[in-house]
A = this chain, B = another copy of it.
Amino acid sequence: MGVQSIERAFSVLRRLSSGPAGVTEIAERVDLPKSTVSRILSTLEGIGAVAQTSPGGPYRIGEAMLDLVSALLPGRGLIDSAYPHLLELMEATGEAAGISVLDGDLVHYLEQVESNNPVQVRNWSGTRVPLHVVPSGLVLLAWAPPAHQRAYLQRTLESFTAKTVVNPAAIAQRLGEVREQGYAWVFEEFSEGINSVAAPIRDSTGNVIAAIHSHGPAYRFPLHRSTALLGDAVVAAAGRVTADLRSNPTVP
């Protein structure tokens, strides 16, 4: 039904995705003449979609394939832009800092930098948690389309600790406060012993596309420090990331 040679090229790539292989081996596996496989590999090599492990050696998937999916690997470019500002924020608050994006009804933690403090909040990179229990989630929800917000609040909201707010009306009011203040604090609603504060990152058109946060053990964060000052620090860090994105708008 489709274009034959394209389908064949992807059969070859699929074989290579499970490890390097030579022309003959691939030809047997995908049931094609060697000459055809050789020609396909030459073409793919010219594109950069495959490469030889060593000159004259077996073929493997090429770096160009990474560029093609970079938009999919959630926010690779975003992480690169945000990294230095995560470090700054970590130094400013003395606690771990991280960024996250919205993934459906969950907040997806992309990256985290840690302080060198021996007592640390574990690294949540790669995990996803419901929006209403973490400040990053509240931030992302606060600037989501109203229709999304309403849909989210109509669902049954899970409670994680004794302090978790699950009342839809209470959360809706909270979202308003977050929009006013520009940041969100959550005190032990996701996990007992962890406090966290977050602010929104915007793309070059002003849409909120991610959140940046800092979090630490409840016994020392924020402790005697002003939640407003810490909030401002996070907002400032988010602003710097936003500014960077504006000057280099290549992020998904």
Interface residues of A (CB under 8 A from B): 1-3, 5-7, 9-10, 13-14, 16-19, 39-40, 42-44, 46-47, 49, 53-54, 60-61, 63-73, 103-105, 116, 118, 250, 252
Chain B's closest residue to A118 (CB) is B116
Task: Say whether B17 contacts A68, CB under 8 Å.
Answer: yes
- In the complex, what residues of B have CB within 8 A of residue A60's CB? 71-72
Q: How many copies does the complex hold?
A: 2
4 more contacts with CB within 8 A, not counting A7-B43, A19-B252, are: A3-B39, A10-B49, A18-B71, A54-B104
Complex contacts, A16 vs chain B, CB 8 Å: 68, 71
B53:A6 contact, CB within 8 angstroms: no
Most buried by B among A7, A10, A16: A10
Residues of chain B within 8 A of A46, CB atoms compared: 1-2, 7
Of B9, B105, B116, the residue contacting A9 (CB under 8 A) is: B9
Q: Which residues of B contact A63 (CB under 8 A)?
A: 72
